Structure 1
Amino acid sequence: MSGDGAYTVIAAADRGEPVAFSGEIESGETVTSDDYLGDVLVVNFWYAGCPPCRLEAPDLEALAQQFAPDGVSFLGVNIYDQAPTAMSFAEEFGVTYPSILDVNDGSVRLAFAGQVAPTATPTTLVLDQQGRVAARISGLVSEPSVLRSMITDVLAEAS
């Protein structure tokens, strides 16, 4: 199911608990939410055959590169594919950040199943330095400037 690109920004005082998750990325390593505590984290739920996911991949990679010097991390959550397909997608679209392979148990999707559940594909979430969801885009990131502003705003909270 694809979203309409609607977005939600959650004020710091209204954010829920930090989201705890773990999963195996394409290389076979395990990553956890603890690996990203203290950083702003952008989480993108996607799969290789999803047309809007293919459209937004270059923009997400450009933002990942832009914000890397600021300590912002990007993490994909592939909801449908196994490692070879995910790696082929990353190579085709130049995506350098890792993706958790969530197809087998859906545990990462379940971890985010609260007030900002990733019900559409793609869904992009911005987590604050405490691991709480600060913003959500449901569907295609059609305007990278919106996601850029979300990331900038969450970065500014730490200053």
Structure 2
Amino acid sequence: MKRPYVPFLAALAFAVALVGVIAFSGSSPGTPAGYHRNKDGTLTIENASRPVSPAFMGADVDGRPIQLSDFAGKTVVVNAWSSRCEPCRKEIPDLVRYHRKMEKQGVVVLGINRDQFADEARGFAQEFDMPYPSVLDPGGKQFFALPKGLLSTQGLPVTLVVDARGRIAATASGPVSEGRLEGLVAAARAS
């Protein structure tokens, strides 16, 4: 006697097992091994799977040369922003507080500014009393060197956390709070 429901039950059991594995691992389908995307879009990367960060280099809002390697040995929060981005305006006070609180503990912020003109970026930095530098990147080219799949959006703001060895450990799309920053940096410092 044929049992037509046996193949159906086998397929159902497989689907439930697959969903369980995905839920347990914290990753979504298509996410590379060692990458864990949370429900809020935050991505954390296991130590062994972390890609090397791009150099993030150029002139800052005052025309001085700046690059990621200036912060070698530190955990760096790289935040892409624009003075015309409303979510950026909302998150900058948290980034400023976080930078001031964590700088002596080896964690710094490096901005990547997407404004067309340096004057706009400089005015914004002064308005928010930003104590950290920002690389001018009006064309958004700094992020072209990122490996595929690290960001879930192309909009601003975007935040990456680079570990002390210069590897990308976490990313977040959208505004970040101090609490979210603490989680991203904790993931980057875990080894």
- TM-score, normalised to structure 1, is 0.86
Partner of 1:110: 144
Partner of 1:51: 86
Calculate the aligned-residue CA RMSD, in Å: 1.9
Distance across 2 between alignment mates of 1:148 and 1:125: 13
Counterpart of 1:81 (choices 104, 107, 116) is 116
Distance across 1 between alignment mates of 2:126 and 2:57: 24
Q: CA deviation at 1:21?
A: 3.0
- Tell me if structure 1 keeps the 8 A contact 2:170–2:187: no
Partner of 1:101: 136
Paired-residue identity, %:
35
1:146 aligns with 2:185: no
- Structure 2, unaligned stretches of length 5 or more? 1-38
Q: CA deviation at 1:102?
A: 0.3
Q: Flag the 1:18–1:50 CA change in 2: closer, same or farther, 3 A.
A: closer
Q: CA deviation at 1:5?
A: 5.4
Q: CA deviation at 1:30?
A: 1.1
Q: CA deviation at 1:115?
A: 3.4
- Higher relative CO (Cα under 8 Å, sequence separation at least 6) belongs to 1
- Tell me if structure 1 keeps the 8 A contact 2:79–2:110: yes
- Tell me if structure 2 keeps the 8 A contact 1:48–1:81: no
Partner of 1:67: 102
1:120 aligns with 2:155: yes
- Structure 1, unaligned stretches of length 5 or more? none
Q: CA deviation at 1:75?
A: 0.7
| Range moving further from structure 2, 120-129 or 10-19 | 10-19
Distance across 2 between alignment mates of 1:5 and 1:92: 29
Distance across 1 between alignment mates of 2:147 and 2:83: 22
Q: CA deviation at 1:112?
A: 2.5
Q: CA deviation at 1:55?
A: 0.3
Q: Once the two structures are superposed, what CA deviation does each residue of 1:41-64 show, in whole Å capped at 9, x if it has no partner?
A: 110001001000000010010100
Q: Once the two structures are superposed, what CA deviation does each residue of 1:97-143 show, in whole Å capped at 9, x if it has no partner?
A: 1111101x5331223353324722000110001111101110111x4
Larger radius of gyration: 2
For residue 20 of structure 1, what is the amino acid of its counterpart?
A
Q: After the TM superposition, which parts of structure 1 deviate over 3 Å for at least 4 consecutive aligned residues? A: none
Partner of 2:189: 155
Partner of 2:65: 30
2:79 counterpart SS class: strand
Q: Would you say how many aligned residue pairs link Structure 1 and Structure 2? A: 152
Q: Once the two structures are superposed, what CA deviation does each residue of 1:37-96 show, in whole Å capped at 9, x if it has no partner?
A: 211111000100100000001001010011111121211101123221111111212211
